[in-house]
Amino acid sequence: MARKKTITKEQILKAAYEVVATEGFSRFTARNIAAKMGCSTQPIYLEFKNMNDLKEALLDQLYAYLADEVFMVEHTRQPLIDLALNYIHFAEREKQLYRALYLEESGFGNKMQEFSNSLFAELASKDSNYENLSPEQIQSLNMGCWVVATGIASLMSSAIIKPTDEQIISLMQLTIDNILKDDVRIDLD
């Protein structure tokens, strides 16, 4: 008689999330995830081909969480400013997860930037304020907003600055206005 699975894929993903959210990707190992669940590493390798497969599944789950629950909260009725504000709030609220996803070398910095770029472009395309911008202008706007929001997020998550939401909104609006007014081309790739 075959043994019944007692550890599910969802439980493994939950434990993997907890490891990354509290300790970062540097501690993302089968042994640490298994310890979080109180089991051996065997269930992990029964559900996932390897640790990279588990990382990819976790990343997909995190994309959905960020896109559906974190980045789409409305504050100002200006989707691009709301995106920046939500990104900054995420960095301050979930410091270690933010660092793991966006700043750690062993994380997914480039993939997270691609995800965020795609979300930014999608929101800009649906906003009548930006519908006449070229793809290059959208990219410049995205890069300028990304740099300013990441600076604020990093400084806030390190408790170096504590701006109010109104101050953040003003900084983001100023950034957008200046990039569009001067038709600035920002390409930092």
Token digits for 130?
Answer: 């930006």
CA neighbor of 179 nearest in space, from 139, 122, 151, 124 = 139
Q: Which residue has the higher pLDDT, 66 or 5?
A: 66
Q: Do you know the residue count of the chain?
A: 189
> 11-54: per-residue pLDDT in tens?
999 999 999 999 988 899 999 999 999 999 999 999 999 999 99
pLDDT tens for 93-117 read: 999 999 888 888 766 777 888 888 8
| Secondary structure (DSSP) of 60-71 | HHHHHHIIIIIT
pLDDT at residue 2 tops 60: no
